[in-house]
Amino acid sequence: MSEQGKTFPEFYITSPQPCPYLPGRLERKLFTHLTRDKSPGLIDNLLKGGFRRSQNIAYMPYCDGCNACVSVRVLVDEFAQGRSMRRIVDRNRDLASRCVAPVSTSEQYRLFRQYIDTRHGDGGMADMTVLDYAMMVEDSVVDTFCTEYRLKPEDPLSSTQVSDWPLMAMALCDRLSDGISMVYSYFDPDAQSRSLGSYMILDHIDRARRLGLPYLYLGYWIAGSRKMSYKMRFQPQEHLTPQGWLPLSPRR
């Protein structure tokens, strides 16, 4: 095989499967394997250009007669928190966030299982074992990091080790050349009033701003899917179209 053949990605298409977001439709995916012999710039461009990463596979929808899945990214420098988002931040001031290496732990997996069993028991991740979880977190050829959110103790002298504080949420993210891509996140399902999913997005918008990165990538948004509707709350944003990334005007 030529050197170009080793580094240029080979693409494959999955067989049709029931769409998990739009009832009555079928989905297919275009995917390629991410390996260390591939150019970092090529992989970065794939992930900035509409592909999502799952372990060392980059994929995007490739559905017959359907283009409902739209890649979304938030314009970090133009984003401003509204009143409801400031309330979410205030509700979570007792949490400490810290970036850690992408290494799975039993504590993470327990919280992940609690989240999946409570909120997505019939989804594609319902059967994930502890080994599957470890692969999701650790199997990456890109600059991947985890952000853990832990509950601060009421008595600050009771425990000085942050790692001993209760884990409330976790986000798995990739750092790209122009932004942060949120790969997957989960949280304590019993803490619904905290709006931890939105809080993690707000925290990573702020993190991207501090790093001087212009975008936060939120994956796909699907019109008509309640599961995806929350992404529209983070404005202004751009959507990936056949003409490239274009701004979306906020809904009035």
pLDDT tens digits in sequence order for the chain, 252 residues long: 444 445 678 999 999 999 888 888 999 999 999 999 899 999 999 999 999 999 999 999 999 889 999 999 999 999 999 999 999 999 999 999 999 999 999 999 999 999 999 987 676 788 899 999 999 999 999 999 999 999 998 876 666 788 889 999 999 999 999 999 999 999 999 999 999 999 999 999 999 999 999 999 999 999 888 888 899 999 999 999 999 999 986 443
Question: What is the distance between the alpha carbons of residues 116 and 31, in angstroms, rounded to a whole number?
Answer: 25
The answer to whether residues 35 and 81 belong to one domain is no
Give the single-character DSSP code of 51.
Answer: -
Among 146, 130, 140, 237, which residue's Cα sits nearest to residue 200? 146
Look up the domain containing 14 and give its range.
Answer: 3-67
The answer to whether residues 54 and 81 belong to one domain is no
The answer to whether residues 92 and 200 belong to one domain is yes
Structural domain total, the chain? 2
The answer to whether residues 61 and 150 belong to one domain is no
Question: What is the distance between the alpha carbons of residues 185 and 86, in angstroms, rounded to a whole number?
Answer: 21
Please report whether residue 120 resides in a domain: no
